[in-house]
A = this chain, B = another copy of it.
Amino acid sequence: MSGLEVSPFDSHYGLEIDEATDELVRGHVPVREFLLQPVGLVHGGVHASIAEALASLGTNVGVVPDGKIGLGQSNHSSFLRPMSAGTMNAVARRRHRGRTTWIWDVELTDDEGRLCALSRVTIAVRDRSQR
């Protein structure tokens, strides 16, 4: 695989990619019953998964052509406003393009454009042979 497809896990929770460059990636996930935690809100792990997916994809857009691969190193997600319905909209913006790590800020908003979660994701860049 090239590293640029929506992955099996991303398909499993319903991520769709709307745009992907090595500087900005956008995607969305419709809120469905199976994404909820016990009290009926979207599980924080879904927010974190979306952020991880977009940051990895954007990094791979940049590094796969050079024979490298991006692997998640750190994902710090802050949950600001619970969601329970509608669509989760996510935008990942690259903040740093280093030799060995890329850093992305990911914002998740609801259908009214309110900020629901913020993630900072660090992706390590490795030679494909090394991983």
Which A residues fall within an 8 A CB radius of B? Answer: 1-5, 7-13, 33-46, 48-50, 52-53, 56, 60, 69, 71-80, 82, 95-96, 98, 100-101, 103, 105, 115, 118, 120, 122, 124, 131
| Contact present for A48 and B75 (CB under 8 Å) | yes
Assess A76 versus B76: contact at CB under 8 Å? Given A38-B3, A38-B5: yes
Residues in B with CB closer than 8 Å to A5 are 38
CB closest residue in chain B, given A13: B12
Residue among B41, B103, B115 making CB contact with A71, cutoff 8 Å: B41
Residue among B11, B38, B77, B115 making CB contact with A7, cutoff 8 Å: B38
Residue among B1, B35, B74 making CB contact with A74, cutoff 8 Å: B74
**Given A43-B53, A75-B76, 7 other A-B contacts at CB below 8 A?**
A7-B38, A9-B37, A13-B45, A38-B56, A41-B71, A44-B72, A48-B52
Which of A1, A75, A96: most chain B Cβ within 10 A? A75
Assess A80 versus B52: contact at CB under 8 Å? Given A2-B38, A9-B34, A74-B74: no
Q: Which 3 A-B pairs have the closest CB atoms?
A: A45-B49, A48-B48, A44-B72
